[in-house]
A and B are shown apart, each in its own frame.
Chain A
């Protein structure tokens, strides 16, 4: 114990002596220096020296390997070596298919290859093509305005018939205002990006057509698809989004559906969707291309069909190239929504306006429809006759809704590959045209289309078809299907 205390005290003494010696040597040169009231002590020199060393190290650049940009010769070599792919992939024999050309108007009876056929390919649901009043109005319009409008809507392309047509559409559907587009396909893909931007959430049906898909892609929003026409899937999707997303209140949220799906003929259950929309506070964008003039007792579309007031739908768009027997599209809703599109919808601002005779045709179509609502009853009757005729067809089932004018026949048992299915269905359509003079088509998909619903044969029923036409079609298809797919 004593030894340890003695050792520790010796060590302490030694240390004290060293420190004193250090202090005195360092103090010696500056023992009398006083700067700014501070005594300059020895330790300051060490501290200053350390500071200088630290600053020097910090100012050194970190080591980077030297950059060597490519020389011109190297770039030339790379450019010479690079071989582009051909502009298009090589074509196999499917690409050489040409659809049959019709030689007269696309009415229920038309001429293909010199023969008269029953036409189920044209979406002329109310049979207005070839109507005398329509043709008279168009002829007068052509004489007065010529064919084209020669300018976009902002630069003297707005003709008074456009404004009349917009007012007529708004009056017919009961909305404050509407806007005309010059092409049906561009309506949806210009309207959606005008409202939904990057970061917003859109819930869309997986079976929507390409125009809507393109609009969703161009809007750069987050898109979530739900199962085709399945209200439970929609409910689950909305629930998931509501729980997952804490910032939900700050984002814009939309549901995009079609009233009558182009790709399957199903009708959207609007009353239930409205309930979900109100619960989760989303906005609805509804595409009524195939339901204007078809659904509802006076042809006002899906909202009339379900008895929902149209104010609950935030935006209704439609392609006029179906029941209304003209071309172009329109969008309708409340005033602020429509006015916004006049400045920011690219398909409206940067494109020439609708040719005036087509706007006149639309106005006449509405006039005829309002005066003669029997056309809708006749259409509904025709649909049910065709349904009865086509049920029990061998190898094919009807995939569309019972009230839809698009009757969609798909294979009962798919072969597994879409190409094979399409080949079988095309041979059915071709034989039906050649032997029985019944003109039907298969649904064709573009390589860009994301829709994965099954392909099928599509028949468009029109109010202009007679019962004998429908009977002829059902018998022909029954016979040909049995022939191609084997009887059952």
Chain B
């Protein structure tokens, strides 16, 4: 695949923090997009692409001073692995904090979210085990499952009845060719699917897994901190007891404005992982300033910093997502995803519309993310919007205006629009 023609739609460099408004560096090319060179010009654009759900991306009044203090005390890196003297008092505090936030007995933290999945699954599963994963799971889970050597089966995206069918068939059949019974079965699902914006049907899936004695693994990369009344993820939102999920995984890149990943589970599982997981034994420990950012942002979310900014942020993101989604649907766009989810893909379908949509929006100073093959099927291209708690109502209105104009130009309003909202405050309010 050689998308030189629209290479400028991907990998756009920025020169400021990825906050609600940021500076996109303009690039030019002399050889038809084969190489793109940076220019010194920047344009201030509205950011609808970064994973900044709670607005912790830029310098924050509570978090940043503490992060800088930690930087001076512990240096940007420990240069060693967790078992070798890279464990600082901060790391232990972080793990206890994350465990209490996620409502599990214990947690372990790694330096990168991708490595968390890739290095945990081979430890837990091996030959003779079965991994059943949702068909739209993220690449890190697929890599981890392949690296484990277990047999992998897929169930149709978010359909618990198909999961039950697959489980029954697999348990009855046993291992392929030898028909010996499976050693263990684990079902892997995600909290919010990043390309669909949908929430997982967690209560039904947990019920199915309990009935057939399979273990569950929940990847909350996009949902931790962003959904739920107090930001504790899909379990809180859908009313599932965290003790029913065997292993909960998440990343800190999205809602907490930091880096790294965590695994939360029972005490024995975490002790076992600390002894055997290669990412813990061989990977550098998470950078101490990043760890402090996570602790401080969780404190803000829980209101332990003495203000109610956390509760405000959570309410804001819910309000923003629901407002934006309903407005887009009213305009006639096809928007995927459930209510309350801050990720909303707008379907473009035709891959030729991708560069048009992306470039036109950028001309009007709105930066969007367009996703093409191979992250999505070839004919299901989409533009993915990520709402943040730091977007104000004016920002969203401007975004809606621009997207509506560009949508008309490109021709992606596949559904009939609702009639104009008439006579609000005595004036007709028109969005396009």
**A residues whose Cβ falls under 8 Å from a Cβ of B:** 70, 74-75, 78-79, 82-89, 91, 94-97, 99-107, 110, 119, 121-124, 129-130, 134-135, 138-139, 142-151, 153-160, 162-163, 182-186, 189, 209-211, 214, 217-218, 262, 319, 321-322, 325-327, 342-343, 346-347, 349-352, 354-355, 357-358, 361, 439, 441, 444-449, 458, 460
Given A148-B257, A148-B258, A358-B287: A322 in contact with B79 (beta carbons within 8 A): yes
Q: Are B50 and A151 in contact, CB atoms less than 8 angstroms apart?
A: yes
When distances are taken between beta carbons in the complex, the residues of chain A under 8 Å from B83 are 99, 441, 444
Task: Pick the residue among A95, A102, A182 that contacts B259 (CB under 8 A).
Answer: A182
When distances are taken between beta carbons in the complex, the residues of chain A under 8 Å from B215 are 84, 87
Whose C-beta in chain A lies nearest to the C-beta of B294?
Answer: A147
Q: Are A84 and B213 in contact, CB atoms less than 8 angstroms apart?
A: yes
Q: Are B184 and A83 in contact, CB atoms less than 8 angstroms apart?
A: no
Q: Are B112 and A351 in contact, CB atoms less than 8 angstroms apart?
A: yes
Interface residues in B125-159 (C-beta closer than 8 Å to A):
138-140, 143, 146-147
Which 10 pairs from chain A and chain B are nearest by CB? A121-B85, A183-B112, A321-B284, A351-B114, A185-B283, A352-B253, A105-B75, A150-B50, A350-B139, A88-B272
B18 CB–A CB distance under 8 Å = yes
When distances are taken between beta carbons in the complex, the residues of chain B under 8 Å from A105 are 73-75, 78
Task: Pick the residue among B15, B60, B124 that contacts A88 (CB under 8 A).
Answer: B124
Q: Are A150 and B183 in contact, CB atoms less than 8 angstroms apart?
A: no
Task: Pick the residue among B82, B113, B213 that contacts A82 (CB under 8 A).
Answer: B213
Q: Are A158 and B13 in contact, CB atoms less than 8 angstroms apart?
A: yes
Whose C-beta in chain A lies nearest to the C-beta of B91?
Answer: A101
How distant is the Cα of A116 from the Cα of B38 in the complex, in angstroms? 48
Q: Are A160 and B14 in contact, CB atoms less than 8 angstroms apart?
A: yes
A-B contact pairs, 28 of them (CB 8 A): A79-B171, A82-B182, A84-B214, A87-B215, A102-B85, A106-B74, A121-B80, A123-B79, A134-B76, A142-B59, A142-B68, A146-B19, A147-B258, A148-B256, A148-B258, A150-B254, A153-B11, A156-B18, A160-B13, A185-B119, A186-B118, A214-B122, A349-B139, A350-B140, A355-B258, A355-B259, A357-B76, A448-B278
When distances are taken between beta carbons in the complex, the residues of chain B under 8 Å from A182 are 112, 114, 259
Q: Are A106 and B50 in contact, CB atoms less than 8 angstroms apart?
A: no
B246 CB–A CB distance under 8 Å = yes
- A477 to nearest B CB, angstroms? 16
Interface residues in B85-141 (C-beta closer than 8 Å to A):
85-89, 91-92, 111-115, 118-119, 122-124, 138-140
Q: Which of B80, B118, B138 has the most CB of A within 10 A?
A: B80
When distances are taken between beta carbons in the complex, the residues of chain B under 8 Å from A119 are 85
Task: Pick the residue among A82, A143, A151, A346 that contacts B49 (CB under 8 A).
Answer: A151
Task: Pick the residue among B25, B49, B76, B277 that contacts A160 (CB under 8 A).
Answer: B25
Given A154-B11, A159-B13, A211-B282: A358 in contact with B76 (beta carbons within 8 A): yes
When distances are taken between beta carbons in the complex, the residues of chain B under 8 Å from A347 are 114-115
**B residues whose Cβ falls under 8 Å from a Cβ of A:** 1, 10-19, 22, 24-25, 38, 47, 49-52, 56-60, 63-64, 67-68, 71-80, 82-89, 91-92, 111-115, 118-119, 122-124, 138-140, 143, 146-147, 167-169, 171-172, 181-185, 212-215, 246-247, 251-254, 256-259, 268-269, 271-272, 274-279, 281-284, 287, 289-290, 293, 367, 369
Q: Are B15 and A159 in contact, CB atoms less than 8 angstroms apart?
A: yes
How distant is the Cα of A105 from the Cα of B78 in the complex, in angstroms? 7
When distances are taken between beta carbons in the complex, the residues of chain B under 8 Å from A346 are 114, 139-140, 143
How distant is the Cα of A142 from the Cα of B103 in the complex, in angstroms? 30
How distant is the Cα of A338 from the Cα of B108 in the complex, in angstroms? 33
Q: Are B171 and A78 in contact, CB atoms less than 8 angstroms apart?
A: yes
How distant is the Cα of A203 from the Cα of B76 in the complex, in angstroms? 36
When distances are taken between beta carbons in the complex, the residues of chain B under 8 Å from A446 are 123, 276-278, 281-282
When distances are taken between beta carbons in the complex, the residues of chain A under 8 Å from B279 are 185
Q: Are A106 and B257 in contact, CB atoms less than 8 angstroms apart?
A: no
When distances are taken between beta carbons in the complex, the residues of chain A under 8 Å from B274 are 95
How distant is the Cα of A82 from the Cα of B170 in the complex, in angstroms? 11
Task: Pick the residue among A135, A144, A150 that contacts B51 (CB under 8 A).
Answer: A150
Q: Are B85 and A106 in contact, CB atoms less than 8 angstroms apart?
A: yes
- B90 to nearest A CB, angstroms? 9
- B66 to nearest A CB, angstroms? 11
How distant is the Cα of A355 from the Cα of B281 in the complex, in angstroms? 22
Q: Are B114 and A350 in contact, CB atoms less than 8 angstroms apart?
A: yes
When distances are taken between beta carbons in the complex, the residues of chain A under 8 Å from B277 are 446
When distances are taken between beta carbons in the complex, the residues of chain B under 8 Å from A210 are 278, 281-282
When distances are taken between beta carbons in the complex, the residues of chain A under 8 Å from B122 are 214, 448
Task: Pick the residue among B56, B63, B75 that contacts A129 (CB under 8 A).
Answer: B75
- B272 to nearest A CB, angstroms? 4
How distant is the Cα of A343 from the Cα of B374 in the complex, in angstroms? 10
When distances are taken between beta carbons in the complex, the residues of chain B under 8 Å from A162 are 13
How distant is the Cα of A160 from the Cα of B24 in the complex, in angstroms? 10
Q: Are A189 and B213 in contact, CB atoms less than 8 angstroms apart?
A: no
Whose C-beta in chain A lies nearest to the C-beta of B71?
Answer: A138
Whose C-beta in chain A lies nearest to the C-beta of B12?
Answer: A156
Q: A103-B88, A163-B13 are in contact. List 5 more A-B contacts (CB 8 A).
A: A91-B272, A142-B64, A142-B67, A184-B283, A185-B112
Q: Are B172 and A94 in contact, CB atoms less than 8 angstroms apart?
A: no
